[in-house]
Amino acid sequence: MSFLERILSNPQEYTLDVEKLGECKIPSPIRNRSDFIQDHERIIVTENQKLLHFLTKKLGEEPSFERAGPHQKIFHDPAWSRVAIVTAGGLCPGLNHVIKGLVEILTFDYNIRTIYGIRYGYAGLIPSYGYEPLMLNPDNVDTIHEKGGTVLGSSRGQQDTSELVDTLVRMNINLLFCAGGDGSLRCAHDIAMECKNRKLNISVVGIPKTIDNDLQFVGRSFGFETAVLEATNIIRAAHTEAKGTFNGIGLVKLMGRDSGFIAAYATLANPVVNFCLIPELDFELDGKHGLLEALNRRFLSGKDHCVIVVAEGAGQKLIADEPIRKDASGNILKKDIGEFLKNRITAYFQETKQIASVKYFDPSYTIRSVPARGTDAIRCYMLARNAVHAAMAGRTDCVVGNQNDWYTLVPIKLATLERQKVSLSSDLWRALMDATGQAVYFNGRAKVVDAVLP
């Protein structure tokens, strides 16, 4: 069953409406504002008219999400509010920007002074770990955005939901913010459900942290643009190395466990790339239309160098004989396609008695550890700002997204239902095929599958 079919088959379970704790009765302490939003303000989920018409026909109304922003009446009393902020999962550019944004909006807009930074992800809410929370304020977060990583630390691994909520209750927390990706947001959803079952008025709001840009309906997630920018320098170096020797091959592995957005965008941003391999592309290694013959074909055509960009989740079927390993969160760890390709390409040219030199680059940890740059940093602050406004208005079990210039509130269950992937019939992929010319080297047989709306 496709992603859309799952939603349409059970619209009540996969609702586009965000959970509310109750009626907003408290006047907002924000003064001199002209941008208060109304509860009925909604943002259409897509500008694709064909898709919009299809969804409207099936749902009986235009599909839309609640617009994010400050409300004139709020649910939580700022004078009694206590906040916890969690950063979970892998590192990502912009985490410190998000933390700073949350603290500043909570303090300056709502005058909330009790803000706990939970150490090392959700583990910081489990007493047995003994991680003491940090007290956060505008002064001690003033310059954290200049550094990569997260001042709170992070961790992977599933924790007991009931124990997490017990800690929130003991700490009298009524606002919980989680900056996390797919797994971390699922945990936030479980916390929200446990709070609902216990009839606790705790707002649980997520900020979408996925460097792979693979969450549904949230637009471009923070950290992604910075990752593409950082990858540019690596690809440039790979190109220089490739040109530095006859039949030189610069091989770059970029992040992207299940979705190839970073590899695709970095390739388009650097037209020196000749092959881009992503998890969505079912490519072969051997045979007439495999990658090895495609490389040979490029060299035989008179080109004396080549640059390959591969996403970490690409080509996993090619190394299926290696044992399956999982991380602390239960995610299947991808096998090292970069090292595998380096060895196989080297062996191929040795066996065919041809000159070739492979230079392999794996910058994953370097890229994800830098601070956010440019518009990426702006997106961090805007996501944090709208997360605070949503929580104060009693919204819960939601994640902040953005549609162009608009910010929206998306139910976590919907955002994490299925990973967003690169469509091989999209303008993005077709532009990439034009930029690389890899279809020519695959002998006109690069595999492009047209996606058809149901």
Catalytic residues: 212
**Residue partners of 385: CB distance under 8 A and separation at least 6:** 101, 105
Helix axes 261-269, 224-243, angle to 10 degrees: 60
Q: Which residue type does 87 have?
A: T
Backbone phi and psi for residue 207, each to the nearest 5 degrees, phi listed first = -115, 120
Alpha-carbon distance 47 to 28, whole Å? Answer: 33
For residue 308, report the phi and psi dihedrals to the nearest 5 degrees. -120, 130
Residue 242: what are its φ and ψ, rounded to 5°? -65, -40
Nearest to 379, CA basis, from 44, 186, 93:
93
- H-helix segments, 198-312: 224-243, 261-269, 291-300
- For β-strands 406-411 and 398-403, DSSP reports them as antiparallel
**Coil/strand/helix, residue 288:** coil
What is the C-alpha separation between 97 and 118, in angstroms, rounded? 16
Q: What is the DSSP string of 369-385?
A: TSPP-HHHHHHHHHHHH
For 339, other C-beta atoms within 10 Å of its C-beta total 14
Measured from the Cβ of residue 138, the count of other Cβ atoms closer than 10 Å reads 13
3-state helix, strand, coil in the chain (%, to 5): 40, 15, 45
Return the structure tokens found at 250.
């610069």
Residues 6+ apart with CB under 8 A from 198: 165
Q: Can you say whether residue 61 is alpha, beta or left, with left for phi > 0 and alpha for psi between -120 and 50 degrees?
A: beta
Give whole-number Cα distances, 189 to 122, 270, 329, 371, in Å: 13, 38, 15, 28
Query: What phi, psi does 178 have (nearest 5°)?
Result: -125, 120
Residue 422 CA: distances (Å) to CA of 139, 217, 280, 418, 419: 41, 14, 7, 13, 10
Q: Give CA separation, 126 vs 158, 188, 260, in Å.
A: 11, 15, 35
Give me the phi and psi of 236, to 5 degrees please: -60, -45
**Which is nearest to 170 in space by CA: 212, 127, 206, 138?**
127
